[in-house]
Amino acid sequence: MATITSINKEPGVDKVVILLIGGRGVGKHRLATALIQTRSSLTVEVRTCVKLPLPKENEQERPYIDLIIFIVDMTSRASKMILEESLPYLMPECFVDKVCFVAMNSSMVNSYSFGIDRVIDCGDLYGCPVLYGDLQSRSHLDNLAQQIINQAEVKAGLKYNISSNFVTASFHGP
Protein backbone atom coordinates (compact mmCIF):
# COMPACT_ATOMS: atom_id res chain seq x y z
CA MET A 1 0.00 0.00 0.00
CA ALA A 2 1.19 3.49 -0.81
CA THR A 3 1.58 5.19 2.51
CA ILE A 4 2.29 8.86 2.54
CA THR A 5 5.53 9.89 4.07
CA SER A 6 7.24 13.23 4.23
CA ILE A 7 10.75 12.15 3.40
CA ASN A 8 10.67 10.51 -0.01
CA LYS A 9 10.47 13.59 -2.28
CA GLU A 10 11.76 17.14 -2.49
CA PRO A 11 9.49 20.09 -1.90
CA GLY A 12 8.92 22.55 -4.74
CA VAL A 13 10.21 26.11 -4.80
CA ASP A 14 7.51 28.74 -4.41
CA LYS A 15 5.00 26.00 -4.91
CA VAL A 16 2.79 24.21 -2.44
CA VAL A 17 0.92 20.96 -3.03
CA ILE A 18 -2.18 20.39 -0.96
CA LEU A 19 -3.88 17.01 -0.79
CA LEU A 20 -7.60 17.08 -0.04
CA ILE A 21 -9.00 13.80 1.27
CA GLY A 22 -12.74 13.33 1.62
CA GLY A 23 -15.71 11.30 0.35
CA ARG A 24 -17.80 12.21 -2.67
CA GLY A 25 -19.97 15.26 -2.26
CA VAL A 26 -18.03 16.87 0.61
CA GLY A 27 -17.00 19.79 -1.61
CA LYS A 28 -13.39 18.96 -2.49
CA HIS A 29 -13.55 20.45 -5.95
CA ARG A 30 -15.18 23.65 -4.76
CA LEU A 31 -12.62 24.04 -2.00
CA ALA A 32 -9.83 23.27 -4.48
CA THR A 33 -11.10 25.99 -6.83
CA ALA A 34 -11.29 28.46 -3.91
CA LEU A 35 -7.71 27.58 -2.88
CA ILE A 36 -6.38 28.22 -6.37
CA GLN A 37 -8.22 31.52 -6.64
CA THR A 38 -7.00 32.78 -3.25
CA ARG A 39 -4.32 35.44 -3.45
CA SER A 40 -0.97 34.09 -2.40
CA SER A 41 2.67 34.46 -3.15
CA LEU A 42 2.77 30.74 -3.86
CA THR A 43 1.68 28.61 -6.78
CA VAL A 44 -0.91 26.26 -5.42
CA GLU A 45 -1.49 22.78 -6.77
CA VAL A 46 -4.34 20.78 -5.32
CA ARG A 47 -4.69 17.05 -5.49
CA THR A 48 -7.94 15.39 -4.48
CA CYS A 49 -8.74 11.85 -3.48
CA VAL A 50 -11.61 9.99 -1.92
CA LYS A 51 -9.62 8.02 0.61
CA LEU A 52 -6.18 6.63 1.40
CA PRO A 53 -4.15 4.75 0.28
CA LEU A 54 -3.35 6.66 -2.88
CA PRO A 55 -3.18 4.64 -6.09
CA LYS A 56 0.28 3.27 -6.86
CA GLU A 57 0.00 4.16 -10.55
CA ASN A 58 0.54 7.86 -9.89
CA GLU A 59 3.48 7.32 -7.51
CA GLN A 60 6.15 8.56 -9.92
CA GLU A 61 4.42 11.76 -11.10
CA ARG A 62 3.12 12.63 -7.66
CA PRO A 63 5.02 15.63 -6.26
CA TYR A 64 5.97 16.31 -2.67
CA ILE A 65 2.83 16.94 -0.64
CA ASP A 66 3.11 19.93 1.68
CA LEU A 67 -0.23 19.83 3.39
CA ILE A 68 -2.81 17.10 3.88
CA ILE A 69 -6.37 18.18 4.59
CA PHE A 70 -8.94 15.68 5.79
CA ILE A 71 -12.43 16.95 5.01
CA VAL A 72 -15.17 15.53 7.19
CA ASP A 73 -18.77 16.26 6.31
CA MET A 74 -20.61 16.71 9.59
CA THR A 75 -23.85 15.55 7.98
CA SER A 76 -22.45 12.26 6.70
CA ARG A 77 -21.46 9.34 8.86
CA ALA A 78 -19.74 7.73 5.86
CA SER A 79 -17.41 10.72 5.73
CA LYS A 80 -16.25 10.06 9.32
CA MET A 81 -15.67 6.40 8.46
CA ILE A 82 -13.45 7.41 5.52
CA LEU A 83 -11.39 9.56 7.89
CA GLU A 84 -10.95 6.73 10.40
CA GLU A 85 -10.01 4.25 7.67
CA SER A 86 -7.53 6.59 5.98
CA LEU A 87 -5.55 7.81 9.01
CA PRO A 88 -3.51 4.57 9.45
CA TYR A 89 -2.03 5.11 5.97
CA LEU A 90 -0.13 8.21 7.09
CA MET A 91 3.39 7.88 8.51
CA PRO A 92 3.71 9.33 12.01
CA GLU A 93 6.03 12.16 10.95
CA CYS A 94 3.27 13.55 8.75
CA PHE A 95 1.24 14.47 11.80
CA VAL A 96 3.91 16.83 13.07
CA ASP A 97 3.18 19.68 10.75
CA LYS A 98 1.44 18.43 7.62
CA VAL A 99 -2.08 17.43 8.58
CA CYS A 100 -5.18 19.48 9.18
CA PHE A 101 -8.83 18.51 9.69
CA VAL A 102 -11.72 20.44 8.21
CA ALA A 103 -15.22 19.98 9.59
CA MET A 104 -17.41 20.86 6.59
CA ASN A 105 -21.05 21.99 6.95
CA SER A 106 -20.28 22.90 10.54
CA SER A 107 -23.09 25.49 10.62
CA MET A 108 -25.78 22.87 9.91
CA VAL A 109 -25.98 21.82 13.56
CA ASN A 110 -29.44 20.27 13.21
CA SER A 111 -28.21 17.91 10.50
CA TYR A 112 -25.13 16.56 12.27
CA SER A 113 -24.71 12.80 11.96
CA PHE A 114 -22.20 12.73 14.79
CA GLY A 115 -20.89 15.15 17.42
CA ILE A 116 -18.36 17.82 16.55
CA ASP A 117 -16.42 16.66 19.61
CA ARG A 118 -15.37 13.58 17.62
CA VAL A 119 -13.50 15.75 15.16
CA ILE A 120 -12.04 17.93 17.91
CA ASP A 121 -10.89 14.83 19.81
CA CYS A 122 -9.27 13.56 16.62
CA GLY A 123 -7.43 16.84 16.25
CA ASP A 124 -6.26 16.71 19.88
CA LEU A 125 -5.18 13.08 19.57
CA TYR A 126 -3.00 13.71 16.54
CA GLY A 127 -1.99 17.24 17.51
CA CYS A 128 -3.44 18.74 14.35
CA PRO A 129 -5.50 21.89 13.92
CA VAL A 130 -9.22 21.70 13.18
CA LEU A 131 -10.82 24.23 10.85
CA TYR A 132 -14.52 24.77 10.29
CA GLY A 133 -16.02 25.33 6.89
CA ASP A 134 -19.26 25.73 5.05
CA LEU A 135 -20.28 25.22 1.45
CA GLN A 136 -23.42 27.30 1.83
CA SER A 137 -21.87 30.64 1.10
CA ARG A 138 -18.99 31.85 -1.02
CA SER A 139 -17.54 34.03 1.74
CA HIS A 140 -17.26 31.08 4.17
CA LEU A 141 -15.51 29.02 1.55
CA ASP A 142 -13.07 31.83 0.73
CA ASN A 143 -12.39 32.35 4.42
CA LEU A 144 -11.61 28.65 4.86
CA ALA A 145 -9.39 28.69 1.76
CA GLN A 146 -7.47 31.67 3.14
CA GLN A 147 -6.85 29.88 6.45
CA ILE A 148 -5.55 26.84 4.61
CA ILE A 149 -3.28 28.96 2.42
CA ASN A 150 -1.91 30.71 5.54
CA GLN A 151 -1.02 27.31 6.98
CA ALA A 152 0.53 26.26 3.70
CA GLU A 153 2.68 29.39 3.61
CA VAL A 154 3.96 28.70 7.11
CA LYS A 155 4.81 25.11 6.17
CA ALA A 156 6.56 26.26 2.99
CA GLY A 157 8.74 28.56 5.12
CA LEU A 158 7.50 31.77 3.57
CA LYS A 159 6.56 33.40 6.85
CA TYR A 160 9.59 35.09 8.39
CA ASN A 161 10.53 33.70 11.81
CA ILE A 162 7.50 31.46 11.96
CA SER A 163 7.69 27.73 11.56
CA SER A 164 4.98 25.14 11.88
CA ASN A 165 6.59 23.76 15.08
CA PHE A 166 6.45 27.21 16.60
CA VAL A 167 2.77 27.50 15.72
CA THR A 168 2.04 24.07 17.20
CA ALA A 169 3.95 24.83 20.39
CA SER A 170 2.26 28.17 20.91
CA PHE A 171 -1.14 26.58 20.24
CA HIS A 172 -0.74 23.91 22.90
CA GLY A 173 0.93 26.16 25.42
CA PRO A 174 3.63 25.24 28.03
Binding residues for another protein, per CB under 8 A?
Answer: 19, 23-25, 29, 32-33, 36, 43-50, 54-55, 57-58, 62, 78
Nearer residue to another protein within complex by CB, 24 or 138:
24
Spatial distance between the Cα atoms of 159 and 134, rounded to a whole number of angstroms: 27
- Can you name the residues that pair with 73 across neighbouring β-strands? 104
Q: Is the CB of 78 or the CB of 125 nearer to another protein?
A: 78
Backbone angles phi, psi at 95, to 5 degrees: -75, -10
3-state helix/strand/coil string of the chain:
CCCECCCCCCCCCCEEEEEEECCCCCCHHHHHHHHHHCCCCCEEEEEEECCCCCCHHHCCCCCCCCEEEEEEECCCHHHHHHHHHHHHHECCCHHHHCEEEEEECCCCHHHCCCCHHHHHHHHHHHCCCEEECCCCCHHHHHHHHHHHHHHHHHHCCCCCCCCHHHHHHHHHCC
Q: How far is the CB of 42 from another protein (least distance, A)?
A: 11
Task: Supply the minimum distance, in Å, between the C-beta of residue 50 and another protein.
Answer: 6
Q: Which is nearer to another protein, 100 or 130 (CB)?
A: 100
Least distance CB 124 / another protein (angstroms): 28
The least CB distance from residue 36 to another protein, in Å, is 5
Closest to another protein by CB, 48 vs 146, is 48
Nearer to another protein by Cβ, of 10 and 57: the residue is: 57
CB of 54 to another protein, least distance (A): 5
